[in-house]
Amino acid sequence: MAPRRLLLGTVLALAASAGGARAQGADPARATRFIQSTGQELVAALNSNAPLAQRRQQVSAILHRAVDVEGVGRFILGRWWRQASAAEQQEYMRLFDETLIRNLSARFGEYQGVRFSLGRAQQRTEDDVLVNTIIERPNLAPFSLDWRVGDVNGQPKVVDVIAEGTSLRLTQRSEYSAVIQRNNGQISALLAAMRNQIQQLAAREGR
């Protein structure tokens, strides 16, 4: 009994030290500071009185700094990434990037007066940190949003956003894959749909 317990203890200790080593990449305190500062920048940009085009540029700059756009884009295309040609991959990344920014900027109006605060404690997952925030908008009930922060080349980056247990990147992967599948596995069909969506979003913004 005793040797077995000893063995178990050793294994646990090893696991803990391994975990400790890995956690350097995803340090909860650092991830929290990162989300706090990024969130403040984003809220300031959303609430500024600058013209729409300028605000979009500001938001775009913040997102490019804070989000692992490349990694998220690849994750969402999932198994189709390797089946895409180099040209398709490049075009997809360009469209994905624009979709991300447009989807947000099309809703700038809804986010007027937005406030955010850090919510309940962050938690560490295998190689990321989940940072919880509370988003408040005028006249609407506050809601909770979790930011998954990973470590990309030594820098903390947002890799996913989770609302009420629903991960944005998982949902979007399912959506994109459905579009490709329903078009006989053609990635070009997804690209066409994305292009069309960007046009509609641009039209909605009135420019």
| Residues within the interface to another protein (CB under 8 A) | 79, 103, 106-107, 139-144, 164-167, 170-179, 182, 190, 193-194, 197
Query: What are the CA-CA distances from residue 121 to residues 32, 39, 94, 118, 130 (Å)?
Result: 9, 16, 35, 8, 9
Residue with Cβ nearer another protein (34 or 63):
63
Residue with Cβ nearer another protein (5 or 79):
79
Compute the least distance from the CB of residue 153 to another protein, in Å: 28
Compute the least distance from the CB of residue 32 to another protein, in Å: 19
- Cβ contact 23:128 at 8 Å: no
Residue with Cβ nearer another protein (13 or 163):
163
Name the DSSP letter for residue 164: T
Residue with Cβ nearer another protein (134 or 152):
134
Helices (H), the chain: 2-23, 28-47, 52-66, 69-77, 86-105, 168-181, 187-205
The helix or strand, by DSSP H or E, that contains position 151, with its residue range, turns out to be strand 143-152
Compute the least distance from the CB of residue 50 to another protein, in Å: 24
Compute the least distance from the CB of residue 141 to another protein, in Å: 3
